[in-house]
């Protein structure tokens, strides 16, 4: 899943300010995250949490449309799914647990049919029951051109008969709707898949599979006030008297904690405050005055200029959560504008990763990446085809040799989310490629619009600076979303294949890996695919992210959750 910004999955997440999508989501950690005693203490009941967001707004909070990991962290406060992740740090946080469903699903017919049963006493914020029809409608609306985007790749790819389905708002919804999603009764739902999917339990943890009641579906307007079946509900989403955008949530009194062990309801109110400059937010959290004592920065880490102060000050470090995440920052190369393999390989050799990491704050913010699958994932293979570990500042000699005699482009346009940190990172890309004779023109995009723009293939440019958090902790949560060319639709949102590659061999190997029921064999297949993708130089992996997140002194219950690349909002409270 994509993640927030080259500050900065999907699902994820969400992102590099947008860098997200998309995703959620379930990424693992390499090694145990560090959780300090102060922030991990149990909260009291009541109080207000202030959530600081760097971008001017979320692109979307409609569960069928959301794609960046920060927005997904908020969305799960009111939009539950059939399954979800355990509320724990470390590897346990990448494990599934039932959410709306009674179990993790019951597969039959070689993993092409999956059945789920809803728990009893599940209610919406008005007291009405959550039903199978609500789940079915939520999935169906992701097919509509009115609200496409998000992580709709999965229902579009996996559900049988999805190719000609246009969503519930046209043609009388086919009479019966999408026939591969069936309700036996109000509590039992069945998904019929177009191919075997052994980890479909992870797929239905994505917000695109969240239920939406037909009577409450306001189509595009649902993005501003989704209906809640979680511990909190939206009461306001708009500008206050000072012209500042706020998203305010309060307790959903109809939520039953006995049905939801994954979330807590410690807080009386949560206020999301947008447009919070990363430097200023870090300064205010360090100063720890007023509301900032009860605050957490959601989509921005500790600003690089304050990193050493926070790390070396015992009182400040006691208020941090930190650790390696599964997020990877990378540069996607559009294979339509750079079709020559040698040119793409030269660009992979030519990037100065050392300078890029320095621009983001140095080693506390990540390790050099050599693959698209993170080291925490079992499918990861420790190859380094471009000598990154020995020459992180690039191999210009090798790059120039590869370009010699080739018709490589002399000018490329770079899309990136327009935040201060991303601007610095993009300058490194410009300088790196100038050394090998390629002029890069920067195209900054407002963070809240980034994914709505670049996920439309006809609108993206030659290079895309982004990041990804696996939608679930297997190669199937990354490689199909980023490199399967078959779902590409030129003028529709939702594409994450920024390389715009549609390679028959890659597509065939994706199907082979997805259909393998032996997980050890499946991991090897994904690892081999990752290597093939790097051989073809479709993307330039840059960094595996580390999180350094500072909380106000009164925030409690904080830990680094691997699925959300930061603190789990659903577990937080205040002292």
Assess contact for 55 and 276: CB atoms under 8 A.
no
Which residue in 475, 474, 468, 547 sits closest to 89, CA to CA? 547
d(CA 139, CA 155): 7
Compute how many other C-beta atoms are within 10 angstroms of the C-beta atom of residue 343.
21
State how far the alpha carbon of 252 is from the alpha carbons of 221, 269, 337, in Å: 21, 10, 50
pLDDT at 298: 92
The predicted structure's pLDDT at residue 12: 34
Instruction: List C-alpha distances in Å: 376 to 323, 384, 533.
Output: 12, 16, 19
For residue 24, the model assigns a pLDDT of 33
Q: Which two tokens stand for residue 64?
A: 């069928």
User: What is the model's pLDDT at position 417?
Assistant: 95
Contact 463, 413 (CB under 8 A): yes
User: What's residue 1's pLDDT?
Assistant: 60
**pTM given for the model:** 0.83
Whole-number Cα distances in Å, 402 to 268, 385, 392, 561: 60, 14, 18, 42
The whole-number pLDDT of residue 348 equals 98
Which tokens is 443 given? 């195209």
The predicted pLDDT at position 27 comes to: 33
Question: Hey, which residues does 442 pair with through a beta bridge?
Answer: 414
**Which of 247, 245, 324, 208 is closest to 74 using CA atoms?**
247
pLDDT score recorded for residue 97: 97
**pLDDT at position 440, please?**
98
Q: 459 φ, ψ to 5°?
A: -105, -20
- Output b/e per residue, 518-531; b: 16+ Cβ within 10 A: eeeebbbbbbbbbe
575: which 2 tokens? 């002292």
User: What phi, psi does 495 have (nearest 5°)?
Assistant: -75, 130
Q: Could you give the domains of the chain?
A: 324-547 (3.10.105.10)
Q: Is 182 exposed, middle or buried (0-12, 13-18, 19+ CB in 10 A)?
A: middle
- Per DSSP, 525 falls in state H
- What six digits make up the tokens of 227? 């209906």
Q: Please state the φ and ψ torsions of residue 347, each to the nearest 5 degrees.
A: -65, -35
Dist CA 346 CA 401 (whole Å): 8
Per-residue tens of pLDDT for the chain, all 575 residues: 654 333 333 333 333 333 333 333 333 333 445 555 567 788 999 999 999 999 899 999 999 999 888 999 999 999 999 999 999 988 888 889 999 999 999 999 999 999 999 999 999 999 999 999 999 999 999 999 888 666 888 899 899 999 889 999 998 887 789 999 999 999 999 999 998 888 899 999 999 999 999 999 999 999 999 999 999 999 999 999 889 999 999 999 999 999 999 999 999 999 999 999 989 999 999 999 999 999 999 987 898 889 999 999 999 999 999 888 889 999 999 999 999 999 999 999 999 999 999 999 899 899 999 999 999 888 999 999 999 999 999 999 999 999 999 999 999 999 999 988 899 999 999 999 999 999 999 999 998 899 889 999 999 999 999 999 888 888 999 999 999 999 898 888 889 999 999 999 999 999 999 888 788 899 999 999 999 999 999 999 999 998 899 999 999 999 999 888 889 999 999 99
């Amino acid at each position: 899943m994509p993640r927030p910004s080259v500050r900065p999955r999907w699902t994820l997440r969400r992102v590099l300010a947008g860098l997200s999508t998309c995703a959620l989501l379930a990424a693992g950690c390499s090694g145990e995250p560090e959780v300090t005693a102060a922030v991990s203490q149990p909260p009291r009941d009541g109080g207000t949490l202030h959530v600081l967001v760097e971008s001017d707004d979320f692109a979307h909070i409609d569960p069928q449309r959301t794609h960046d990991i920060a927005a997904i962290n908020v969305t799960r406060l009111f939009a539950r799914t059939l399954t979800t992740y355990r509320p724990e740090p470390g590897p346990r946080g990448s494990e599934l647990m039932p959410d709306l469903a009674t179990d993790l699903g019951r597969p039959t017919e070689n993993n092409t049919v999956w059945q789920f049963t809803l728990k009893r006493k599940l209610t919406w914020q008005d007291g009405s029951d959550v039903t199978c029809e609500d789940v079915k409608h939520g999935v169906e609306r992701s097919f509509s051109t009115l609200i496409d985007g998000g992580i709709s790749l999965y229902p579009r790819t996996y559900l049988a008969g999805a190719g000609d389905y246009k969503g519930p708002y046209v043609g009388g919804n086919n009479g019966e709707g999408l026939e591969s999603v069936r309700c036996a009764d109000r509590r039992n739902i069945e998904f019929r898949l177009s191919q075997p999917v052994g980890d479909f339990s992870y797929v239905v943890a994505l917000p695109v599979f969240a239920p939406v009641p037909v009577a409450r579906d306001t189509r595009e307007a649902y993005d501003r006030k989704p209906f809640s079946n979680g511990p909190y509900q939206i009461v306001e989403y708009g500008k206050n008297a000072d012209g500042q955008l706020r998203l305010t949530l309060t307790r959903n009194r109809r939520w039953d904690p006995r049905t939801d062990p994954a979330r807590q309801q410690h807080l009386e109110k949560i206020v999301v405050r947008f447009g919070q400059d990363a430097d200023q937010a870090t300064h205010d959290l360090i100063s720890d005055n007023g509301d900032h004592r009860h605050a957490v920065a959601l989509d921005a880490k500790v600003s690089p200029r304050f990193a050493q102060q926070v790390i070396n000050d015992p009182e400040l470090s006691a208020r941090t959560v930190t650790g390696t995440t599964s997020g990877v920052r990378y540069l996607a190369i559009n294979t339509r504008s750079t079709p020559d393999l040698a040119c793409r390989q030269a660009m992979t050799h030519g990037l100065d990763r050392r300078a890029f990491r320095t621009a983001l704050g140095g080693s506390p913010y990540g390790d050099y990446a050599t693959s698209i699958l993170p080291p925490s994932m079992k499918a990861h293979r420790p190859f380094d085809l471009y000598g990154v570990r020995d020459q992180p500042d690039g191999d210009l000699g090798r790059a120039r040799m590869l370009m010699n005699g080739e018709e490589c482009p002399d000018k490329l346009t770079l899309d990136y989310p327009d935040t201060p940190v991303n601007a610095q990172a993009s300058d490194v890309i410009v300088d790196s490629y100038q050394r090998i004779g390629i002029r890069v023109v920067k195209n900054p995009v407002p963070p809240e619009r980034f994914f709505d723009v670049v996920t439309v293939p006809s609108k993206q440019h030659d290079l895309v600076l982004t990041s990804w958090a696996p939608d679930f902790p297997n190669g199937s949560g990354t490689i199909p979303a980023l490199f399967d060319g078959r779902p590409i639709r030129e003028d529709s949102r939702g594409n994450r294949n920024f390389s715009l590659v549609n390679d028959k061999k890659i597509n065939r190997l994706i199907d082979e890996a997805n259909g393998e029921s032996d997980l050890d064999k499946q991991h090897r297949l994904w690892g081999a695919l990752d290597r093939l993708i790097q051989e073809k130089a479709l993307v330039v992996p840059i960094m595996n992210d580390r999180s350094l997140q500072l909380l106000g002194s009164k925030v409690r219950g904080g830990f680094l959750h691997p699925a959300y690349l930061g603190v789990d909002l659903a577990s937080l409270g205040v002292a």
